[in-house]
Chains A and B, each alone.
Chain A
Amino acid sequence: MDTANFPWLTTSILISDCCCPYLIPFIPDKDGKTVRWYSLVVGLIDFCILVYAFYTQYDFSNPDLQLVESYSWVSSLDLRWSVGADGLSMPLILLTGFISTLAILASWPVTFKPKLFYFLMLAMYGGQIGVFAVQDMLLFFLMWELELIPVYLLLSIWGGKKRLYAATKFILYTAGGSLFILVGALAMAFYGDTVTFDMRSLMQKDFPLNFQLLVYGGFLIAYGVKLPIIPLHTWLPDAHGEATAPVHMLLAGILLKMGGYALIRMNIEMLPQAHVYFAPILIILGIVNIIYAALTSFAQRSLKRKIAYSSISHMGFVLIGMASFTDLGLSGAMLQMVSHGLIGASLFFLVGATYDRTHTLILDEMGGVGKKMPKIFAMFTTCSMASLALPGMSGFVAELMVFVGFFDQRGLRLTLLR
């Protein structure tokens, strides 16, 4: 087998998205025990493929797009199935594989409609990798939607008491945001002489400033819902408050990162002129995000909602890093996304594990949990330390990079004086 030309990314997307989930209905299984092993093995294989592909094929010193696979799909539209990975998407793809596999492991106690549950989990797995890997705007939109529907179903079937309200709110918010993606993508594709959906070609196109500003604004709304940016955040506490632990891990660990990734990939790389105009707004929004969400988190009495708001707060750093116009700030934003993906997912998993045992999320009703569950207590403390950015933990490095990048003289002058 020619490993260099083997379509690793396509395989990893297709395994979890197109092949394996559809076998689930044919697995003879009454209580879901076989299905969960099956899903876990599929998730592990997928993760191993990704790790192997990046380990052997990915050149870390090369900033260009690598592992590119491109096949013609609808030639009349110049629509291609093209995937690839660069420094921006590679860590997020790995994060997705890691968190999704763990989320499948974390959904071990799910006994209600297990086949559908694991089907949706696997479908989401592929959709998420797809979002980070595809290099085609229309395909990106397709993947973006592909991952929405499983989340909606996972929320509305396995959620808490207010699950229907939360799921509806989620789907309306995100589907509303998706409209802007589609409109923006089409506008960019059909602008000028050539019709192309390829991201590389779109970056070459020279859009006028007004066009850029308009598309940038639309994308900002779409991805701002996902990140989330205040005041587009209210779906998040509801969705996070109602989701079960594994869905929760995916929501916090990966879905929020899709917003940040897309903002960097499209708004910054494709619409650089508009980004200069929008950067101060991003910084203000980021600061509002950090302070406002932190205060709200402080006042929350429900553990899940508390951590949900702290996620919003952490995403503010991503916004500031993006708007810093420095390599360091942008790297900090990326690292913040990865580190929050790990910290947020583990915190939400621990909250889920606590909830399974205490059957309450209200802080006032808890107390003395540490004595009964010392291991969960120790891990929760560790994750909280990482979340508060204790020096030596990943959160600290990320936030420090964002701060230093933001205060870099050249960058600050660019942002303030423009």
Chain B
Amino acid sequence: MNTIAWTGAFTAFLGASIAITQNDIKKGLAYSTMSQLGYMVMAMGAGAYGAGLFHLMTHAYFKAMLFLGSGSVIHGMEAVVGHDPVLAQDMRLMGGLRKYMPITAITFLIGTLAISGIPPFAGFWSKDEILGSTFAVNPGLWLVGYLTAGITAFYMFRMYFSTFEGPFRGNDAGIQKQLKVEHFQRLGMSIGPGAMNPQELTLDAGHGEAQGEDHADHGDHGGHGEHGAHHHSSEPHESPLTMTLPLMALAIPSILIGLVGTPFANYFEAFIHPASEVIEGVPSEVDWTEFLTMGGSSVGIGLIGISLAVLMYLQRKIDPGAIAKTIQPLYQLSLNKWYIDDIYNVVFVQGSRRLARQVLEVDVRLVDGVVNLTGFVTLITGETLKYLESGRVQFYALIVFGAVLGLVLVSGITDGVGEWGMGLGWGVNNI
């Protein structure tokens, strides 16, 4: 139980710490999912089965909505930057999208509030239940979950602000080129160190060209939209109803579903347990002091996270780049996802490839080598032996004579040793 709980807590923290620096909107959400799943596992480990399952359910609604919203954002972005996931999914190119896609923005905000644990949205009730039951088991676990809740609020609002607030950066050719170069550098690294990607060279050339062009029509901002051949328009658009309708449909449970599992009336807990079973760990009366301290503190840390995000990404009072520079190693660790992908690549992908190649080497060199050696030895023996069959009768007679002589000698030496030897010796002497 303890191992499970700590695994969950570590996963929650790991996911959140990675999500905090991701620039790809979907990757950010994916690592956030990982973090939330960590919460659920932590709840299992702490014995709060119902709380974990409740979080699973609330999370299903708001995370589905967030992912759909990110899809809607990407769809809108593709109108500007073209069908390139490197550009269309990067939050550095987004911003100010609330003006262009209001429905997506509002639903995304609801999801963000829900996952940050702000009442009365769904995530608050389930996360609070997990944190409350964890605190009863182990305050250390609770602390990890509590801090992670703050990070969650921070990175989710970072995501919301850089996507939907501020100026729209989608037409900034400089950022686009920078992203392309970063992408190809990553690609080059995965191909192998020192491998020069030909596309990188052409891209650099294109980069300079684009910069020159950029200077040329500096005064005319409207001209930006016509940069690439694949640019359809300079503004993103709201997605059609087929996308916004599910978003709106998911927004309702994202707000309200938490109310089925409040500490005052926990219908959810009663639902998952059979009627006859006595529910443990859930007090029949609401402990208002505990609820208020726990709930208040988790809302508090959520608000701290949100305020930090407001300062850094909305009002730009604090420069996130400067912070990243001062804690460069930590920033790189988070940006590169704790290097887990790279370790897996080296250990498992490259490792199994190397093993397979060595096995093949053994197969070709050793196993097949023995087979070919057998054939070779047979051939050599045959080639050697054929000189014995020269067809000359004298040679055959010589061999017969030699054999008889050898026999005589052998029988002479061993004469009298055995009956068989004696008889043979006598017979040969008589000839």
A residues sitting closer than 8 Å to B (CB atoms) are 169, 172-173, 230-231, 233-234, 292, 295-296, 298-300
What range describes how many residues of B lie at the interface?
10 to 19
Q: Is the beta-carbon distance between A298 and B367 smaller than 8 angstroms?
A: no
In the complex, how many angstroms separate the beta carbon of B196 from the nearest chain A beta carbon? 19
**CB-defined contacts of B360 to chain A, threshold 8 Å:** 295-296, 299-300
Residue of A with least CB distance to B355: A295
B residues sitting closer than 8 Å to A (CB atoms) are 352-353, 355-357, 359-360, 363, 367-368, 370-371, 375
Docked pose: A141 CA to B143 CA in angstroms: 77
Q: Is the beta-carbon distance between B359 and A234 smaller than 8 angstroms?
A: no
In the complex, how many angstroms separate the beta carbon of B26 from the nearest chain A beta carbon? 26
Q: Is the beta-carbon distance between B363 and A296 smaller than 8 angstroms?
A: yes
Q: Is the beta-carbon distance between B359 and A296 smaller than 8 angstroms?
A: yes
**CB-defined contacts of B359 to chain A, threshold 8 Å:** 292, 295-296, 299
**CB-defined contacts of B356 to chain A, threshold 8 Å:** 295-296, 298-299
Docked pose: A231 CA to B369 CA in angstroms: 11
Given B352, B355, B357, B371, which contacts A234 in the complex, CB threshold below 8 Å? B371
Docked pose: A272 CA to B375 CA in angstroms: 35
Docked pose: A234 CA to B375 CA in angstroms: 13
Given B357, B367, B370, B375, which contacts A299 in the complex, CB threshold below 8 Å? B357
Docked pose: A366 CA to B44 CA in angstroms: 49
Docked pose: A303 CA to B355 CA in angstroms: 19
Sample of 4 more A-B contacts, CB < 8 Å, known A169-B375, A296-B360: A233-B367, A234-B371, A295-B359, A299-B356
Docked pose: A262 CA to B368 CA in angstroms: 25
Docked pose: A300 CA to B353 CA in angstroms: 11
Q: Is the beta-carbon distance between A172 and B375 smaller than 8 angstroms?
A: yes
Complex A-B: 7 CB contacts under 8 Å: A169-B371, A169-B375, A234-B367, A292-B363, A296-B356, A298-B353, A298-B356
Residue of B with least CB distance to A291: B359
In the complex, how many angstroms separate the beta carbon of B120 from the nearest chain A beta carbon? 44
In the complex, how many angstroms separate the beta carbon of B191 from the nearest chain A beta carbon? 14
Docked pose: A296 CA to B363 CA in angstroms: 8
Docked pose: A334 CA to B357 CA in angstroms: 32
**CB-defined contacts of B355 to chain A, threshold 8 Å:** 295
Q: Is the beta-carbon distance between A299 and B368 smaller than 8 angstroms?
A: no
**CB-defined contacts of A173 to chain B, threshold 8 Å:** 371
**CB-defined contacts of B375 to chain A, threshold 8 Å:** 169, 172
**CB-defined contacts of A169 to chain B, threshold 8 Å:** 371, 375
Q: Is the beta-carbon distance between B353 and A234 smaller than 8 angstroms?
A: no
**CB-defined contacts of A296 to chain B, threshold 8 Å:** 356, 359-360, 363
Docked pose: A296 CA to B359 CA in angstroms: 6
Docked pose: A300 CA to B355 CA in angstroms: 12
Docked pose: A173 CA to B368 CA in angstroms: 12
